[in-house]
Amino acid sequence: MAERVHGLRRDGQDIARCPQGRDIVLWRNIVQRLDWDEAHFEEAKALITKYLQDPAGPRLAAGSSNASQRYTDNRRSVSQYQTDFSGFVSNMRDENRQAQIRLQGNIDKLNADIDRYNSAGEQIKRALSQIAGIPSWMTWLIAEILDALGIASVDDARKALDANYAEQRRLRDEIESVQREKERMNQMDADLARANDTLTRLNRGITDLIPGLDSLAKEWANYHHDIVLIQQDMVAAGDSATKRSLITRLKLMGGSVDALVAGMSSYIKIVEGSGFFK
């Protein structure tokens, strides 16, 4: 896809260079070389014929049309890619949201486990605190306190409390890990949204640029067609009025063609300035 997009810029640059070749710009190479009275009419016919035989003329018209078609094809590819990518983004964001719900459920469960372990740890702490205040010979009372917790001895109670604290630390570490995963998915969701927006702007940008190129391609084709018609009329022209009329048409067309060359150069600057084809 990146190669297709870069190709659009190259197409435009190739077309922009075409009018810069020798014997292409009608006004400079034909119109300004003649005094344009009837005495030069045969010379004008010869120049127009030579002009039409120059392969650069048809190549320019064909090249513009081909580039216009390539822009259209590329837009279709980008549009299809956008559709596919938008579907992918939609699915990924849905999956992300489901995963975030699942991860939040895991966090809630881990917090509940921590609360449970914290409560059990507090019970052991209270029991050990009570036992610390009881004379060691009152073994039956100590045993009664420990039995209530399902613990056989004071050493076992201390070990149980240490294990309880270790498990709480493990659970908190797991919560942090799950939270980081949730944040990563949030970031992925935002990145996917930005990528989708960028692709939408690219598609819109190409859509906006294509009409200009289509218009220029049609103008080149029309211009070349008109030159052919004038050349045919010049071959058949016999009276002064017809010759003067054809000379006037050529003068008008010369200015139009130069304007078209300038228009193409301006258009290429717009294409490059759009930022879509760098």
Mean pLDDT, consecutive 10-residue segments, the chain of 278 residues? 48 47 47 58 76 62 61 66 74 84 91 92 88 83 84 87 92 92 86 76 67 68 77 82 79 70 65 56
What total number of domains does the chain contain? 1
**How many residues are listed for the chain in this entry?**
278
User: Which pLDDT does position 109 carry in this prediction?
Assistant: 93
Residue at 23 is within a domain: yes
- Within 10 angstroms of residue 66's Cβ, the number of other Cβ atoms is 15
CA 121-122-128 angle, 5° bins = 90
Residue at 247 is within a domain: yes
Residue at 278 is within a domain: no
Tell me which residue range forms the domain holding 102: 2-273
- The helix (run of H) or strand (run of E) holding residue 180 is helix 154-236
Question: Is 268:15 a contact under the CB 8 Å cutoff?
Answer: yes
User: Which pLDDT does position 114 carry in this prediction?
Assistant: 92
Question: What is the pTM (predicted TM-score) of this model?
Answer: 0.50
User: Which pLDDT does position 217 carry in this prediction?
Assistant: 64
User: Which pLDDT does position 174 carry in this prediction?
Assistant: 93
Residue at 135 is within a domain: yes
Residue at 130 is within a domain: yes
Residue at 159 is within a domain: yes
User: Which pLDDT does position 203 carry in this prediction?
Assistant: 66
Q: What is the domain-level CATH number for residue 151?
A: 1.10.287
Q: What is the pLDDT of residues 92-107, one digit of tens each?
A: 888 888 888 899 999 9
State both tokens at 6: 């870069």
Residue at 14 is within a domain: yes
